[in-house]
Structure 1
């Protein structure tokens, strides 16, 4: 099978920002220190690392375009759902039925972060940043 030349991958770009969020319970909103991250090698996803007391962070991966859509209208399926909050924030419902966490964040701050990721990897160019080599090698076995 002939080998096709492969364009080199762009240099990886990483973006992180601290962004406080709140765990919303029936009784109170509890602040959670959160780090939002983006790595151009996984160009469709944001990571949300929730730093809890004395434990390793709990990390969720969320589609970056879903965050933008969720700021306008409810979106998502399964264990990740997002939607605008009545006060202008963004609500994230994370987890399976019966064990869901409701987290609120500043919609504008998270939106700015997502827009910054589109500067690093513009919409429509994501596949140029993915290293398909390991997958293709595994499929050839």
Structure 2
């Protein structure tokens, strides 16, 4: 079967931004330093890295469209759920039921970051940024 040459992948691009968030407990809102990140090699996702005192950072991956949807109405399933807060914040409900952490962030700041990812990799063009070579090679074995 003839092989068609694949279009070259765009140069990978990434960016990060520090963002203050709060862990909501039954007693208080505890500030957490976080870094939001995006890498065009994983074009559908962004990461939020939680920098916890005395511990290794904890990284969660989020679908970028899910964040925009969660800013408007409750969304998500399983260990990641999002919903708008009554004061304009965005609540991230992370972890399994019964052990879920509730993290509050500035909805506008996070949505602005997500919109910047769509400038870098427009919606509908994500597949042009994925390197399918390793997967296809493993399927040929």
Q: TM-score, normalised by structure 2?
A: 0.98
The 5 Å alignment of 1:71-90 reads 71-90=71-90
Offset of 1:29 from its aligned partner? 0.4
1:38 matches 2:38: yes
Aligned residue in 2 for 1:2 = 2
Unmatched tracts of structure 1, length 5 or more: none
Listed as ranges, the gaps of 5+ residues in structure 2 are none
- SS in structure 1 of the partner of residue 86 of structure 2: coil
Q: CA deviation at 1:98?
A: 1.6
Pairing 1:1-141 to 2, within 5 Å after superposition: 1-141=1-141
TM-score, with structure 1 as normaliser: 0.98
1:2 Cα deviation from its structure 2 partner: 1.8
Per-residue CA deviations over 1:90-137 (Å, capped at 9, x if unaligned) read 000011112110000000000110000000000000000000001011
What SS does the aligned partner of 1:109 have? helix
State the Cα deviation string for residues 63-82 of structure 1 (Å, max 9, x = none).
00000000000000000000
What SS class does the counterpart of residue 83 from structure 1 fall into? Answer: strand
- SS of 2:137's equivalent? helix
Counterpart CA distance in 2 for 1:2 and 1:26 is: 62
Aligned Cα RMSD in Å? 0.6
**Mapped partners of 1:48, 1:84: distance in 2:** 17
The CA distance in 2 between the partners of 1:47 and 1:56, in whole Å, is 15
Aligned structure 1 segments of 4 or more residues deviating by more than 6 angstroms: none
1:5 is displaced (CA, Å) by: 1.1
